[in-house]
Chain A
Amino acid sequence: QKEVEQNSGPLSVPEGAIASLNCTYSDRGSQSFFWYRQYSGKSPELIMSIYSNGDKEDGRFTAQLNKASQYVSLLIRDSQPSDSATYLCAVNAGGGADGLTFGKGTHLIIQP
């Protein structure tokens, strides 16, 4: 069974600090890795994707992937109260989106 593990939180971070969210996965054949942001009562929104080992930066967001350790993380710099949400990690072994396995998400709270 493919598993994606995340600490459910809540993770509390002061405004302006760096928020670090972590995710581990069980399927060594996984090829694609995604971070979704989900506000309370809303649908998930894709914010980052990463496919190769290393870092990928997009604005205040940086995704980090280490396939050897089966670990993917999301860093949010200069955290804002509007970043308060649940962050879902999703992993795919290839093919279409029907192969995506989601984690339960980490609830992030940015304290003003």
Chain B
Amino acid sequence: DAMVIQNPRYQVTQFGKPVTLSCSQTLNHNVMYWYQQKSSQAPKLLFHYYDKDFNNEADTPDNFQSRRPNTSFCFLDIRSPGLGDAAMYLCATSRAGSEKLFFGSGTQLSVL
């Protein structure tokens, strides 16, 4: 089945230790998104790629970076995680111009 896959499902890192979350998709969608969702909060868009074009949200901290080496894969790098970065990180995809999001299962990040 075509899908969006996130690894790992749970990630524990130490304060200040760089961490990378990964996302892959078999839907061949142009657009890939990274959302951050804290407990009982709305998903917050961090950035998205339209093909290779990177679009950063204005209030996304510099601590968060992303890479999209090809259509299928997208990575979220957190350079120096703080306690406030503990959250569920959701990867999603969509066709260009479509409002329908296809979410991965998410990565729950804990920072110790």
Contacts and interface: CB of A to CB of B under 8 A. Distances in A.
Interface of A: 4, 8, 32, 34, 41-46, 49, 88, 92, 95-105, 107
Contact of A98 (B45, B90, B106): B45
A104 B100 contact: no
Counting from the closest, the 8 A-B pairs by CB-CB distance are A43-B103, A102-B42, A97-B94, A43-B106, A104-B42, A97-B99, A102-B43, A97-B101
Contacts of B109: none
A98 B45 CA distance: 8
Contacts of B97: 95-96
Interface string B101-112: 101111010000
A41 B108 contact: yes
A87 B64 CA distance: 28
Contacts of A100: 45, 99, 101
B70 interface: no
A103 B42 contact: yes
- Could you tell me the dominant secondary structure of chain A's interface residues? mixed
A41 to B, nearest CB: 7
A105 B31 contact: no
B34 to A, nearest CB: 11
Contacts of B90: 43-44
B25 to A, nearest CB: 13
Interface in B66-107: 88, 90, 92, 94, 96-101, 103-106
A98 B98 contact: no
A45 B55 contact: no
Contacts of A97: 31, 33, 92, 94, 98-101
Contacts of A95: 97
Contacts of A45: 103
Contact of B99 (A41, A92, A105): A92
A103 to B, nearest CB: 6
B99 A88 contact: no
A97 B103 CA distance: 12
